[in-house]
Amino acid sequence: MSLTAERIVELFEEDARARRRLAELLVSEPDVRLAIINAVIRDVATKHDLAELRRELRGEIERVREELRGEIARVEERLRGEIDRLYRLVAAALIGIMVSIATTVLVRVLLP
């Protein structure tokens, strides 16, 4: 039976102790350790990456704030219009009630 790469991988999958020993051997070699570090560093976020992400998030937050301010202004304008309409409606109703009361009083006074 020949030892294939597939079989070697299977053997390492089965033996955790052997995997640890292989890892220790690999990282003890400066060139291999440097290659591993360089490969890992490509996947690690740097301070610059985080600062750029922070700037993007702040810009997005500011854009959402502006959007909300605009929406709030539109809602306030609609509410002002509704309040004005309701005010006119209540004023007209009050005038109608006062005219009705005045008419009733005048009818009672003038027509005993």
61-77 pLDDT per residue, tens: 999 999 999 999 999 99
Higher pLDDT, 63 or 38: 63
What is the rounded CA–CA span in Å between residue 20 and residue 28?
Answer: 12
pLDDT > 90 in the chain, percent: 66
Predicted confidence at residue 2, as pLDDT, reads 79
Burial (CB count within 10 angstroms: exposed 0-12, middle 13-18, buried 19+), residue 77:
exposed
Q: Please name which of 68, 5, 109, 4 lies closest in space to residue 101, comparing C-alpha atoms.
A: 109
Q: Write the single-letter amino acid at 23.
A: A
